[in-house]
């Protein structure tokens, strides 16, 4: 049995702060253990990716306590923010960094970008969550051989949908990167069409931005709701009652919510960024189970939504493709095997 030391953000299990990265970390640890790895978790408390000195010192103490030659998998949110700790540790440990999203894409901070570059260049392995993300990291930081372990998804019952396709769902923390402002602007142009949209995600990641989005949505009345973060059965119920998932992100390495919707046969309208096209994929007959639009373009997004809402044949075709795409989705066991392959190479 191989020991694997996994350094996770301290809030990985906080139900008030769900994220795709946290869900990935938790499922990956469980599946690696199922494959026979002895997974030893080390939570790194702190305000990553902007930790204070005490939090950086805590990470240093965690890595210093590992034996020479230990195999360590570090969440990129933690590792990339602390090159002064990770780079020296990489001289005596076998360090792999799992990057869910380049920090510059999340925070738009060139200093964080430079810190991430130092960390990733020192790591023995860098693992991304999509082919698009791997290419992005290679271009950003001059890396070779970035490995890929795409997220899996759990099987789910087929969503029945409604005749009109009117129930829209957006699952994402309300932040500038997720671009709910673009979606609200698009919805405002849909006039008297029959629709509702539920925004499901944390409202406290960027309170000022969330307040602006909610203010912009106020004229749309009760057709728009903000539920806050949901998980477990409550989130699954939202997917089950949805007709269409909408993901208007400005940057996205994969978009786990895309495959979570497709697992229920729910079509997707999303922006063509990062690994979203990979997540959306195609049905066995080549049909795409959704529509992709440019990021930051409310008119293009509104056009796709209008097509969905007003053309029954579009809804029928996309629902057929989404139902067929379900059978081609990979589970978390596939993710774990890809991770294991990258780690075994060390």
Q: Which residues of the chain have pLDDT under 50?
A: none
Give the closest residue to 5 by CA, choosing from 31, 35, 43, 34. Answer: 43
Any idea which residue has 């806050």 for tokens?
228
Share of the chain above pLDDT 70, in %: 99
pLDDT of residue 116: 96
Spatial separation of the C-alpha atoms in residues 233 and 21, rounded to whole Å: 19
pLDDT of residue 14: 78
pTM of the model: 0.93
pLDDT of residue 1: 60
* Domains within the chain, CATH numbers bracketed: 3-152+331-344 (3.40.50.2000), 167-328 (3.40.50.2000)
The set of residues, in sequence order, having a beta carbon less than 8 Å from that of 44 and lying 6+ positions away, is 7, 8, 9, 10, 55, 58, 59, 62, 75, 78
Spatial separation of the C-alpha atoms in residues 259 and 255, rounded to whole Å: 8
pLDDT of residue 17: 72
pLDDT of residue 13: 77
Give the closest residue to 98 by CA, choosing from 69, 68, 48, 134. Answer: 134
How many other CB atoms are found less than 10 A from the CB of residue 293?
21
pLDDT of residue 135: 94
Instruction: Say how far residue 206 (Cα) sits from the centre of its chain.
Output: 17
For 189-227, how does the pLDDT look when each residue is reduced to its tens digit (9 = 90+)?
998 899 999 999 999 999 999 999 999 999 999 999 999
Any idea which residue has 């949110």 for tokens?
77
pLDDT of residue 29: 96
pLDDT of residue 208: 98
Any idea which residue has 């204070």 for tokens?
52
Q: Look up residue 258 and give its two tokens.
A: 């895309």
């Amino acid at each position: 049995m191989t020991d694997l030391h996994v350094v996770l953000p301290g809030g990985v299990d906080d139900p008030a702060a769900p994220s795709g990265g946290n869900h990935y970390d938790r499922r990956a640890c469980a599946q690696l253990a199922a494959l026979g790895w002895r997974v030893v978790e080390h939570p790194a408390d702190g305000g990553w990716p902007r930790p204070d000195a005490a939090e950086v010192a805590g990470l240093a103490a965690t890595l210093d306590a590992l034996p020479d030659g230990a195999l360590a998998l570090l969440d990129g949110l933690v590792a990339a923010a602390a090159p002064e700790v990770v780079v020296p540790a990489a001289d005596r440990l076998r360090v792999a960094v799992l990057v869910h999203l380049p920090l510059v894409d999340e925070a738009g901070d060139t200093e964080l970008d430079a810190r991430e570059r130092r960390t990733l260049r020192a790591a023995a392995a860098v693992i991304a969550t999509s082919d698009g993300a791997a290419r992005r990291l290679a271009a950003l930081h001059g890396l070779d051989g970035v490995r890929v372990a795409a997220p899996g998804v759990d099987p789910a019952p087929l969503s029945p949908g409604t005749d009109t396709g009117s129930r829209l769902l957006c699952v994402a923390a309300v932040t500038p990167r997720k671009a709910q402002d673009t979606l609200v602007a698009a919805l405002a142009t849909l006039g008297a069409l029959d629709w509702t949209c539920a925004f499901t995600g944390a409202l406290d990641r960027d309170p000022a931005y969330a307040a602006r989005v909610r203010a912009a949505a106020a004229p749309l009345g009760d057709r728009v709701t903000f539920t806050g973060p949901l998980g477990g059965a409550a989130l699954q119920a939202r997917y089950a009652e949805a007709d269409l998932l909408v993901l208007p992100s400005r940057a996205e390495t994969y978009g786990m919510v895309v495959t979570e919707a497709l697992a229920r046969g729910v079509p997707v309208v999303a922006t063509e960024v990062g690994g979203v096209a990979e997540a959306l994929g195609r049905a066995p007959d080549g049909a795409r189970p959704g529509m992709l639009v440019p990021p930051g373009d409310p008119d293009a997004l509104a056009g796709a939504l209008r097509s969905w809402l007003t053309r029954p044949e579009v809804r029928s075709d996309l629902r057929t493709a989404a139902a067929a795409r379900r059978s081609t989705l990979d589970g978390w066991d596939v993710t774990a095997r890809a991770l294991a392959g990258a780690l075994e190479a060390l």
